[in-house]
Amino acid sequence: MTLKQAALRMVSRATALATSRRRGVARKRAERFGVLSPLERRRTVLSLHPASDTAVLEGVLRECGRDERVELLLSLPSWKRRLFHDGLVGRTLEKWHSYDSHPWRHPWLTPTNLKDVRAFSQRIRDQARAMAAKTDPARLRFGFVGNMANNLYSRAVPLRRRGLSITQFLHPQDDFIMSDPSWEEFDGSLEEGPLEVTALRERGVALPPVLGVVKAEQDPHHLEFVLAVARGSRALAERELGRRPYVDPLELLSFPSFFSILPTLDRLQEMDALLATQSLQIPLFAHRPYLAAQNGGDLWFEASRGDVLGTIQRRGFAAANGLLATNPWTFAHARRFGFSHAFYLPLMLDEEIYAPAAPRFRSEWTERSGGDFFVLVTARLDQETKGSQVALEGFRRFAPRCPGARLVAVTWGRDHARLLGRLREAGLAERLVPIPLSGKRRLLDVYRSADCLLDQFVLGQYGATALEAMACGLPVVMRLELAQYDALCETGAPPVLQAEGPEEVARHLSALSTDADARRFHRAAARTWFVANHSARRWADDYTALLVATALGHRFDFSDSPLRQPLDEEEVAYHTAGLASAPAFPEYRVG
């Protein structure tokens, strides 16, 4: 049975049910049903059915074209349209859809499963390369949507150098400096004060201009558009929907508050394909072909919500042509949400920008503090999510063994005052070299000036901080789920110095401080591993192929994905326990 035949059968069954509940006019209409047009038939189903039965509304509207959908919605009386809207949105709840406070412990993340998904991911990338060979990538236009922590702009830079036309679209409501590409190019630092781009520019901070970046204003009149459709004001509704043929009126009715992004959606119509992160409603409502990439808590926390935001994030990730995974725990989230379209394509950094170079700040630190062995902490100081107390306690235990040791710490994060205060109380005030937040160009020189980096000790997964440090040839001390990465990464797990607690941190610092050969070895190993596993040299062609294949309308074959295997009893129990122990909604909690 074809999809169209199945849809018509569904409409016929819904009609039969409706007419059995409605006598009189309903019977007369049913008698004429055979001579009605498809549009009239669907309109009859909607007029006869209870407005609270949103399944029928969705069933009828989903199987018809956009123009017919507009006509059907506008033909409903306003009271019924309002009830349908309430029914659609009302199914979202102010509670958790599901929850996992420690996805790195997910039972599916075994070496066997991760090796299988690594092999499967290669098959997806091969599909993309075969498809992309049919066209010149330079003819296409790509939009990178969302940019938390410059996660997409850092990938766009090496792809642009290879000839791709990429426009970086920022979320219209995201004014945080670290989401702005200018932060990636900024060779300066920020003392205490606001971290919003608008406020910084008002203060006279000279952020460098970056080409190819779009941040559209929010639409101040979007509610008029929404209300025109919701109330059936046909002239205004038809005019606005006619101006924006990509807008799905059912989505407009269901999620009206999210359509303040209309100007951004308008600009995205110029793009052939998108790569999106952070706010998946943007590519979802733009109706352009797109890939999705996890970043921060977008897939972990936001998609776990049972409210409207969570519903949209899950839909946005689910509708992507593929879900790009950098870390193993993306596959844990995929198991929890029932996604089978995740595959390994890691975060890519430009190896020519992120590279070893002269230690610009080392002599300044020596003159300032008298030290000769510099331990660096650049991640925000946060006990719950970063385990920063492990890093600082490890340094405290190590410090008496090395009089020249100094802790160079960026003074930010919700626990920075308390944790650095502990070191001062322990008599180590003279061992601290506090530095302010630095733009990425300056931060790279900070990495190059240190002897090692203390990263994070909770999540067991690395982020951009560890990658940037290794790219610059800096040894990294952290806690990592080594078996997971050994199975997933191309050349095995990264050569980090593994530490579960403060004593192991202190031991690694002692070894590095007393052995120059060990420092040189770990520097070289970190850089070599980065180039083989996360450089643009390794991954730019794969990113290009996947974007081109998506732009050409190719749908990847996920039928043999390891993620399609049924949940086993252990996973079901794990998911059940995760939801049962979730924090009060909407608080996010780790561990």
379 DSSP 8-state letter: S
Residue 193 has pLDDT above 60, yes or no: yes
| Cα–Cα distances in angstroms (integers) from residue 227 to residues 103, 240, 337, in the given order | 41, 11, 33
pLDDT over threshold 80, residue 20: no
Domains and CATH numbers, the chain: 3-90 (no CATH), 103-344 (3.40.50), 362-534 (3.40.50.2000)
Burial class (CB in 10 A: 0-12, 13-18, 19+), 297: middle
3-state SS assignment for residue 478? strand
A 10 A CB-CB count for 369 gives: 17
Coil vs helix vs strand at 284: helix
Which residues make Cβ contacts (< 8 Å) with residue 452, sequence separation at least 6? Answer: 375, 376, 474, 475, 476, 477, 497, 508, 509, 512, 519, 522
Sign of torsion over alpha carbons 70, 76, 79, 82: negative
pLDDT in tens, 399-454: 999 999 999 999 999 999 999 999 999 999 999 999 999 999 999 999 999 999 99
Show the DSSP H helices in 76-205 as ranges. Answer: 78-90, 111-132, 153-161, 181-185, 197-202
Peptide bond preceding 586 in cis form (omega within 30 of 0): yes
Q: How confident is the model at residue 357 (pLDDT cuts 50, 70, 90)?
A: very high
Residue-level pLDDT at 235: 77
- Mean pLDDT calculated for residue range 3-28: 47
Q: Determine the average pLDDT of the residues in 155-171.
A: 98
Is the pLDDT assigned to residue 68 strictly greater than 80?
no
In Å, what is the CA distance from 483 to each residue of 215, 259, 479, 488, 517? 41, 44, 12, 9, 27
Length of the chain: 591
Q: Are strands 189-190 and 437-438 parallel, antiparallel or unpaired?
A: antiparallel
Confidence of residue 291 (pLDDT cuts 50, 70, 90): very high
Report pLDDT digits (tens) over 82-141: 555 555 555 567 899 999 999 999 999 999 999 999 999 999 999 999 999 989 999 999
* pLDDT confidence band for 238 (50 / 70 / 90): confident
> How confident is the model at residue 40, as a pLDDT?
65
pLDDT score at 46: 57
Question: What local confidence, expressed as pLDDT, does residue 3 receive?
Answer: 47
Report d(CA 314, CA 415) in Å as an integer: 31
Tell me: the pLDDT tens digits for 477-508?
Answer: 999 999 999 999 999 999 999 999 999 999 99
What was the pLDDT predicted at 21? 45
10 Å Cβ neighbour count for 368?
11
Q: Which two tokens stand for residue 518?
A: 């060990």
Residue 580 CA to residue 200 CA, distance in Å, equals: 43
* Dist. CA 64–CA 38, nearest whole Å: 9
Residue 61's pLDDT is 65
Band the pLDDT of 237: cuts 50, 70, 90. confident
**Mean model confidence pLDDT for the chain:** 89
- Report residue 248: phi and psi, to 5°: -90, 115
Query: Once rounded to an integer, what is the mean pLDDT over residues 211-226?
Result: 88
Q: Among residues 443, 402, 357, which one has the least CA distance to residue 154?
A: 443
- Cβ atoms of 436 and 186 within 8 Å: the answer is no
CA distance 471 to 479: 18
18, pLDDT greater than 50: no
| Gap between the Cα atoms of 262 and 165, Å rounded | 23
CB 381 within 8 A of CB 416: yes
8 Å CB contact between 305 and 172: no
> What percent of the chain clears pLDDT 70, i.e. is strictly above it?
85
Q: Rounded distance, CA 505 to CA 510, Å?
A: 9
Q: Which residue has the tokens 């409502």?
A: 285
Q: pLDDT at residue 19 above 90?
A: no
Please name the residues in contact with 18: beta carbons below 8 A apart, sequence gap of 6 or more.
26, 44, 45, 48, 49
Alpha-helical segments (H) within 255-298: 262-268, 281-286
Residue pair 462/468 in contact by the 8 Å Cβ criterion? no
Q: Which residue has the higher pLDDT, 570 or 234?
A: 570
The reported pLDDT for the residue numbered 88 is: 52
Residue whose C-alpha is closest to residue 296's, from 196, 474, 397, 174: 174
Between CA 414 and CA 122 the distance in angstroms is 40
How far apart, in whole angstroms, are the C-alpha atoms of residue 407 and residue 420? Answer: 10
Q: Is the pLDDT of residue 174 over 50?
A: yes
Cβ-contact 449, 358 below 8 angstroms: no
What is the pLDDT, as a whole number, of residue 4?
46
Burial class of residue 2 (count of CB atoms within 10 Å of its CB; 0-12, 13-18, 19+): exposed
Using DSSP's 3-state secondary structure scheme, residue 384 falls into helix
Q: Tokens for 140, please give them.
A: 């296409």
Give me the pLDDT at residue 5, please: 52
Q: What is the pLDDT of residue 17?
A: 47
Which range (15-29, 273-287, 509-523) has the least confidence?
15-29
pLDDT for 81 equals 59
The pLDDT value given to residue 1: 53
Tokens of 104: 């790195």
Res 42: pLDDT: 62
For residues 565-581, average pLDDT: 98
Residue 393 confidence class, pLDDT cut points 50, 70, 90:
very high
Least confident of 166-180, 216-230, 453-467: 216-230
Query: In the prediction, which pLDDT does 33 show?
Result: 39
